[in-house]
Structure 1
Amino acid sequence: MSKVKYYYDSDTLSYRKIERKKGRRFGLILIYILGMVLSGFILLLVYLSIPSLETPREKLLSRELANMELQYELLNRKMTDIEDVLAEVAERDDNIYRLYFEAEPIPKEQRKAGFGGVNRYRDLEGFDNSRLIMSTHRRMDILTKQLVVQSKSLDEITVLAEEKENLLAAIPAIQPVANEDLSRMASGYGWRNDPFTKVRKFHYGMDFTAPRGTPIYATGNGRVMRADNRATGYGNHIVIDHGFGYETLYAHLHKYNVRVGQLVERGDIIGFIGSTGRSQAPHLHYEVSKDGQQINPINFYYGNLTAEEFEILLRKSQQENQSLD
């Protein structure tokens, strides 16, 4: 129940009841509502104009977002460094390693290839930082693929290096008789006079004269395929298979120092000089074959001769004299 208010009327010297006017009451209500709306509007403007007014959770999320952007930026810088290092390794791989081992360089299209087809990053779309995140993922995927390509290339280089090492060890590369044991280099590769028929015939090896019993050395790593006297004219002889298509033959031996199937290394003593078979005097008849074809042994003495010694040997081997077998 509302309270009744009175006022004192000095004219009548009595209290009179205060009557409220309906229009005034409505006006007060309207003014109150307008005041509330205006106050709310002013507070909204203040809130929107001051961005620092954030809730604690918003501040936490803002810090996490800023830290994430910083980490992505640092990650991109590291990827740039990795890309530079990988590019340098690829450059050395193509222009040094693969060139040295006679392997074809890897095409740039294969090294730099991206990922076509479907959108691999659809799940990363629709965020405020989608472009940054997608770019980082794309660079990481390309780097991963380039690392796989480079890793396979280095694996191939490792295999080629092992084969190259084996090849260098297998190729006949030294003189089969030591210089200090030689009496002379009797005959070289080419047309020579046969010592028995006196007819010119092609001599497929080199003859090294030395006293009977002088050691004969394997000129490269390999496996002994023959050690017998069952080949016409060669007498006691040894054949070594060096792999990679190379074979060497050592003929007219006095005796053997190896057996069939034995593995030998360059410099091992495999036998001793003699004069068995079709021979006029103690000497070693030495041949080198590549893929079944005899080739001039003079090209395979770089392992233990100086330039001067090789020059003398080359000059003597070219003299068209009489062979000893």
Structure 2
Amino acid sequence: MDVQRLETFVVVAGSESLAEAADQLGYARSTVTGHLQALERTLGAPLVERGSSGNRLTKAGVRFLEYATDILDKLAKAQAAVAAAAESSQNTLSVGATASLCTYRLPSLLRTLHRLMPNLDMQVSVGSVAELRDQVSRGELSAALVNSAMAPAESIRSPQEDNRRHLWTDRAVLIGTPESAARPRRLLITAPGCVYRDLAENEVLPRLGRLHVQQVGSVDGVKSSVLGGLGVGVVPAIAVGPQLESGQLVEIPLPPLPPVVTELIWNTEVTPPNVSRHLQRLRPPQALPRTGRAPLASPAGPPVESASGAA
């Protein structure tokens, strides 16, 4: 049923004549008449008695006026609700991250985004790298922090796509207590799909020889288990800086492991354009040192927004 015809009928019901209703609506009188006649044909009943003394609603017209008013009222509320939701969605970002990144990297990202967009409402969920990539691809998440091992020939400064930004590069370390590091017996690993599990199984295990392998869940699980003397494990240096400096833990010397890159990826179809523009301007807080080791107790800070707009 045409909304304009409903509006015309409601205005006619409150007017003395069709001419008055036409003036209020800004229509020609013939247009008002046409709207009424179309409604009456659709409903199969006359709605207005037209006479020289003015218009009067028929019994059917009085009954229909209740519904027409209610329909227009609900439509106005629906339009207002949709507009409010659309406005709200422009300031909402659903972000996913792995458990370790929620601890060591996500807070810095959230602080940066809050500084750039103070009114941005951010909702966070946790998952594996595979789950997060899939959720972003399907639009179930706007964005996600994910990490992966960087191949030696891969360039940190490679051109960035419009829906991803490299934000951090972390050094992976094999750590243990002084006792367990001297005679490693057990390799503690994270859950399947974690980059630090891949490094432990593919890079460390072949170099250490026969070790019992035990899954303990997350990076924090590996760290806690290593501190408890249960074995050795691979974690990001940022996770154990204070313990390495204090001597609670030691780094087991190995040829350097591939660095781990943390990227922010997002779905441009569900991420508000104003938010995407800020994400595209993010860049790493500092470059990975070419020689030597990164400071263990002074991890790179939050990502920053480039002045030029290019990350």
* TM-score in terms of structure 2 length: 0.29
Larger Rg: 1
- More relative contact order, 1 or 2 (CA 8 Å, 6+ apart): 2
* TM-score in terms of structure 1 length: 0.28
